[in-house]
Structure 1
Amino acid sequence: METALMSLALMRFGAALLPYRTGLDSIDVLGLAAATGAEWLWCRESAALIASGIASPCPRSSDSALALLVKTSGSSGGPKVVMLARENLLASAAAVNQRLGFGTGDVWLCCLRLSHIGGLAIIHRWALAGATLILHEGFDARVVARDLRRHAVTHISLVPPMLGRLLDTGAAPPPSLRVVLVGGQALSPVLAERALDAGWPLFPTYGMTETTSQIATAAHALERVPADGRVGPLLPGVEIDPRNGLDTPSRLRVRGPMVMVGYANPARVPGQGLDDGWFETSDLGGIDMAGELMVVGRADDVLVIGGNNISLTRVDGLLRSVPGVSDLAVVALDDAVWGHRLLVVYSGDLDEQTLKRWCDDSLAGAERPRAFRRVTALPLLDSGKYDRIGIRALALEAGP
């Protein structure tokens, strides 16, 4: 709870907070401080602020609006730190609260880490609404299922792997629960159908650290599994570049009051990573005739294998539909002959040979994975998203 209260307190007098995950070694902490021009470090053990000794104070006029700095993988995949202003946080919180009907008498259960924007954004929605917050230190599916009912929770945010593990507990949604916000990565139709059949009120959402969490969210709980990639209407004030039409999906470019000040730098100069206020993502998509956002894949999703263009999103979706597969990740490795080869790390009741036979019968030659690794559960990051490095290591163990 210290992180939540400190973030709100610092924002009131014009200081910015840069939270980072527990266990980060001192070299990485100093690297973050140097990259962002941090002037003070919070020493939890002694409950004191100490001078970082790295940066000289920046002129107050250059960064007085900054309220939060958050580490992210960035749209290009490299580690970056996003600078968010007080106005970004308030605009995002107000728009999301309005879209989801989150107000004074409601209860939001936060089980997302406060070192990531997903968790931090909930803090500001809660404070703005004057509602009740149930804060968990990490995600435990059985504890979450218990507290949803115990505290008459109305709202919760999950990433798809968390949703899957919550469903695995067999718990039913409590009558009080109106919103299960699902984002962070694509929601597979198979998982969505499973959740809807169990009565969970799903609200797909799309956003990222650079946009202070969401820019588009469903206006109503899903009644059926959405068409591939459909998210929902844009939040108030959000613009999508008119070039992002669905006839020829291209990299989404977004602008609006939630879009970051820029990527951090030692002088905290705004604008880095932006083009006249526009932020270009690595996701492909556009706006349909009803004004709803559709995300159809990533710009780096298509690989050339044996001279064929292969979509990892398509292969992933097909494999998730196989009976007996609970969860999976498709890993692409470089191959000197074919360009790339695909490997699959998965969990479920289906054995590896049976899954291989299904792929041989159902997928085109270049789409077929060359090795399979069955695990009890896919490794996750503390954000709840898939641990891609850990999954890749498991795939390499599956064989050549």
Structure 2
Amino acid sequence: MTSADEIEPASPRSRPPWHWLATPPRHLAAFAHLWRNVTIAGLAQELARREPDFVALIDGQRAMTRKEWLEEAQALAAAMADTGLQPGDVVAFQLPNWHEAGVLNLACAIGGFVINPIVPIYRDAEVRQMLQDCGARAIFSCGMHRGFDFAAMARRLRDELPDLRHVFVVRPEAGEVHECDYARLLETGRDLPRHPAATDPDAVKMVLYTSGTTGRPKGVLHSHNTIEHIVRSSYEHWGVRPGDTIIMPSPVTHISGYANGLEAPLICGTRVVLMERWDADTAIELIARHGVSGTVAATPFLVELAAAARLASTRLPSMRWFACGGAAVPADLIPAANRAFDNMTAFRVFGASEVPLVTYGWPHDEHLAATTDGKVVSYDVKIADDDGTHLPAGVEGEILARGPSMMLGYANHEQSAEAIDDEGYFRTGDLGRLSADGALTVTGRKKDLIIRGGENISAAEIEDVLRSHPAVRDVSVVAMPHERLGEGVCAFVVGEGTPASEQDLCDHVAASGLARQKIPERFVFVDDFPRTASGKVRKDVLRADARTRAG
């Protein structure tokens, strides 16, 4: 197998930042025997051959059969190649949970392109960083959506980024004129010859950006093999069968929404119902109409689904499982939610974009499902102290994990070297305990990270923006409890000169181009921060203060 650093670029274009990466990297080589060495391009062909009329993907606009999904993806791949895109080029998309995202994802697998999902909440500042870092050659954007013109933003960024050559618009509004929209591209591809790329399952399939603990986004790299393995093995553990219907309210630009919404129907033969926007009452109607059997979603969705089911006097008998995570899960939540349904078992899971689903949950043990964050199945997990020393069962320390579904690395070599230890374990930055029987319980975070409704928010990124305000001498941003979303954003501010109002600071963050979800919900004005003897800010004290203020 040839490592990527031995391959010369096919054209005089910028090399991807991961050109140094060997495939598979050393920390994954020991798990290669667990991979099937397939891509969704080949799997989709086999599924379409066996049962072409099976409806595999449903959104608010359309229900697509396997045959339609494959044929449209083949046409789109041919059209993208006709524009000059080459295997290995990065193709970004910033779309809601629409069926077009599923077509594009399969088309990239067929054409050998690297897919770059970007969450729709991001604006110029974040999107520019991501596209520039990965050297994206094309982006698929919606037009005007929820009051924001995504296509206009993409065109602005194209003028600034020399690698970004193509902006394709999905579902433009009537009367909008664009250089190339998705529908026109698809029709062009139907008449083109098809020459699918011979894609290596070990090759980089996806680059997905996560905020991490600093303002610098990290490009998480996955291969076809790592994603395929986590979907297949978790569905086997949960008892998901071919033909089952899954509902997906999580964004398909997140690792959970991407894997379960766009990949699982082609890996496991399931059907997916995509929700463009979460609404518990709508979810109940869709679950009943389509006979949905389960989902993977953030904790607030489970709480709201159970409450809505009680109000609607329905027990949703088709629902068998609900894997939840992304926010704190109180121990009494799981049994309380289970009592709202006839046949459903909810359970906690733990993972990250870098190590998707370290635990698969306890679908057959309600006590463990409610009191731990799941059962470690396909990963090796160790709990370590600050010096990296392996700690015994039951002792709290940092959670480190390695396994066949771990990322290849970050796009940036230095970030990878810092995140992966000498034994090939990824340092999650989360604290926890591991029992002798493989039950993992997360107890806290070393990372300076805010998880708002399952969305990672970098405190440092917000701090950098607020410090640029003339009335702010210093600022420290921490998580605070949020009744619905798990965590919100609280900013402790040391002022400078004429005091700024909370609205002034909110407007300042909004004007920076950051997503509105990063605007602090609460500002606390202080004379100084609590500090350690060495002068470091005691964020643990500030978090406790924020919890008290939040009541």
TM-score, normalization by structure 1: 0.69
Q: Against the structure 1 CA distance between its residues 270 and 9, is the aligned structure 2 distance closer, same or farther, given a 3 Å change threshold?
A: farther
Q: Is the 8 A contact 1:182 1:203 kept in 2?
A: yes
The equivalent of 1:164 in structure 2 is: 303
Q: How does 1:1-400 map to 2 (within 5 A)?
A: 1-22=99-120, 24-42=122-140, 53-54=162-163, 65-74=203-212, 79-122=217-260, 123-169=262-308, 170=310, 171=312, 172-199=314-341, 200-211=344-355, 213-224=356-367, 226=369, 228=371, 230-236=372-378, 238-241=379-382, 243-265=390-412, 273-276=419-422, 277-299=424-446, 329=487, 389-390=518-519, 392-394=520-522, 396=524
CA contact (8 A) 2:334 2:366 kept: no
How many Å separate the matches in 1 of 2:331 and 2:107?
Answer: 41
Q: Partner letter of residue 70 of structure 1?
A: L
Contact 1:92 1:258 in 2 (8 A): yes
* Counterpart amino acid of residue 240 in structure 1: V
How far did 1:195 drift?
0.8
Checking the alignment, whether the CA contact within 8 Å between 1:17 and 1:68 is kept in structure 2 is yes
**1:171-220: CA deviations, max 9, x gaps?**
44411111111111221124324213323420211101111x31111242
Task: From the superposition, tell whether residues 194 and 327 of structure 1 become closer, same or farther in structure 2 (CA, over 3 Å).
Answer: farther
- 8 Å Cα contact 1:244-1:253 kept in structure 2: no
* Residue equivalent to 2:13: none
Q: Quick one: distance in 1 between partners of 2:363 and 2:250? A: 22
The 3 A distance-change label for structure 1 pair 278 and 192 is same
Does the Cα contact within 8 Å between 2:429 and 2:446 map onto a contact in 1? yes
Change (3 A) 1:330 1:107: closer
Which residue in the other structure is 1:358 paired with? none
> Gapped runs of 5+ residues in structure 1?
302-311, 337-386
Cα pair distance change 1:5/1:195, threshold 3 Å:
same
1:167 deviates by 2.5
**1:109 positional shift:** 0.5
Give the TM-score of the pair, scaled to structure 2: 0.51
| CA–CA separation in structure 1 for the residues paired with 2:415 and 2:201 | 8
Q: In the superposition, relative to structure 1, how do residues 329 and 269 fare at CA in structure 2: closer, same or farther (>3 Å)? A: closer
Helix, strand or coil at the partner of 1:232: coil
- The structure with more strand, counted as a fraction of residues: 1
Contact 2:246–2:295 (CA<8 Å) still a contact in 1? yes
8 A contact 1:193–1:225 mirrored in 2? no
Q: Which has the higher helix share?
A: 2
Aligned-partner SS, 1:297: strand
For the residues of structure 2 that align with 1:330 and 1:36, how far apart are their CA atoms?
29
- Residue pair 1:263, 1:272 contacting (<8 A) in 2 also: no
Q: Classify 1:281/1:78 alpha carbon distance in 2 versus 1 (closer, same or farther; 3 Å).
A: farther
Deviation sequence 1:285-310 (CA, Å, 0-9, x none): 23211122222222259xxxxxxxxx
* Equivalent residues of 1:110, 1:135 under 8 A apart: yes
1-structure distance, mates of 2:128, 2:492: 34
CA–CA distance in structure 1, aligned partners of residues 251 and 117 of structure 2: 10
Residue 2 of structure 1: how far off its partner (Å): 1.3
2:493, 2:524 within 8 Å by CA — same for their partners in 1?
no
C-alpha distance 262-178 of structure 1, shift in aligned 2 (>3 A): same
Maintained 8 Å contact 1:141/1:165: yes
Name the CA distance, whole Å, in 1 between partners of 2:430 and 2:400.
Answer: 9
Task: State the identity %.
Answer: 23
Q: Please say if residues 250 and 256 of structure 2, whose CA atoms lie closer than 8 Å, have aligned partners that are also in contact.
A: yes
Amino acid at match of 2:522: L
Distance 1:13 1:268, change over 3 A: farther
Structure 1 SS opposite 2:139: strand
